[in-house]
Amino acid sequence: MAPLEHYLIVSALLFSIGVVGVVVRRNAIVVVMSIELMLNAGNLAFVTFARFLDSMDGQLVVFFVMGVAAAEAAVGLAILILVYRNRETTDVDELKLLRL
């Protein structure tokens, strides 16, 4: 087991990479995956703190986060499929119908 800060830095790294992915990539699937990355970064932080605080709460939260992430991924991908069916593309840069 490494010192606390190491784990947290990994978590921060994961999160930042996820942010970059959301902003830069055009492919919708990759964007959703970047969001999953960010979620996992949070999970890591939770488990880390649970361990160092002698608490199980962090692990339980992670349990629930994973469940929610699963549901979210399923629905998100379903929407993605619908979008693809309508617009023949998964390029998020093409999704600009919400403008005035």
Partner 1 sequence: MMNILAIILLLPLAGVLLNFLFGWRRGEKFAGWVAVAVMALAFAASVAGFVQLLGLPPTERLLRVDLFKWIAIGKFEVNAGLMLDPLSSLMTLVVTGVGTLIHIYSIGYMHGDRSVVRYFIYLNLFVFFMLTLVLGSNLLVLFVGWEGVGLCSYLLIGFWFERPAASEAGKKAFIVNRIGDFCFLIALFMIVGIFGTLDFAAILQSAPGKLTVGGSAVTAICLLLFAGATGKSAQIPLFVWLPDAMEGPTPVSALIHAATMVTAGVYLMARMYFLFDLAPVATNIIAIIGAATLLLAATIATVQTDIKRVLAYSTVSQLGYMVMAVGVGAYSAAIFHLMTHAFFKALLFMGAGSVIHALKGEQNMNRMGGLSAALPATSLTCTVGGVAIAGIFPLAGFFSKDAILFSAMTSERGGLGFWLAGATGALLTAFYIFRLLFKTFYGRCNLTMEEQRNLHESPASMTFPLKVLAVLSFVGGWVGIPLIPGVNIFDGFLAPVFGAAGETHHEVLFELAMMAVSFAIAILGIFLAHNLFVLNVKGSAGYVERFPGLYRLLFNKYYIDEIYDSLVVQPIRRVSVRLWRDFDDGMLDASVNGAGGFVTLAGDVVRKLQTGYVKSYAVMMLVGVFAILLYLTTGVK
Partner 2 sequence: MMGLLLFYFAAAVTVAGAVGVVVLPNPLYSVLSLIASFLGLAGLYLSLNAEFIAVVQVVVYAGAIMVLFLFVVMLLDMRREERIPLRLPVQKFAGAILGVGIFTILVKVFSSDVLLTGAKGTFTAERVSEMGNTQVIGRLLLTDYLLPLQAMGVLLFVGVIGAVVLAKRRTG
- Using CB under 8 A, which of 1, 2, 54, 100 touches partner 1? 100
Q: Is 12 in the site for partner 2 (CB under 8 A)?
A: yes
Q: Is 92 in the site for partner 1 (CB under 8 A)?
A: yes
Residue 13, CA distances (Å) to 7, 35, 65 in order: 10, 14, 19
Question: Is the CB of residue 56 less than 8 Å from the CB of residue 49?
Answer: no
Q: Which is nearer to partner 2, 79 or 99 (CB)?
A: 79
Other C-beta atoms closer than 10 Å to the C-beta of 41 total 20
Q: Is 68 in the site for partner 2 (CB under 8 A)?
A: yes
- Using CB under 8 A, which of 63, 86, 87, 98 touches partner 2? 63
Residue 37 amino acid letter:
L
User: Which residues sit at the interface with partner 1, rule CB under 8 A?
Assistant: 19, 22-23, 31, 92-93, 95-100
